[in-house]
Structure formats: C-alpha cells, structure tokens
Amino acid sequence: QLAATLQHPAIVPLLAAGEADGVLYYSMPFVDGDTLRARLERSGALPIDEVVRLGREVASALAYAHRQGLVHRD
C-alpha cells in the first residue's frame, strides 16, 4: 500500500497488487525501452555525464521513498 502512494518522476507507479491462487502479484505500467544492461552490452560504458545524471535520478528517487518511510532493498 505504501509503494502505491509513491509519486516521483523516477519511480514507476504501482497500479495494483494482490494474490491469485496463492501467488502474490503487482502490476505497473509498461515502460518501453532498453534496460541498462542491454544498453551497456550494446554500447559499452556510458559517458560520465550520463552516469552522473542517472545516479542523481536514482538517488533522488531513493531519498524520496525513504522520506515516505519506504526502504528499497534491491
């Protein structure tokens, strides 16, 4: 329930969660595009300015989630 309240540009929203036949699930919007892994495999190392930008976006999203009382454990 807490994850569903998060609203941040770098956090994909949680649309629904539940249980079906004993299996927990959640659904989120589909985000079209490459994964970071695929991009690195295709293009190699990213330019430092892009690494810094991505790192800032991730840090901003994590800080926001932490302020909301949610700790991301991946």
Residues 37-54 as b or e (16 or more Cβ within 10 Å = b): eeeeeeeeeeeeeeeeee
- Point out the catalytic residue in the list 21, 32, 49, 74: 74
Cα–Cα dist 12/39, whole Å: 19
Residue 21 designated active-site: no
Positions annotated as catalytic residues are 74
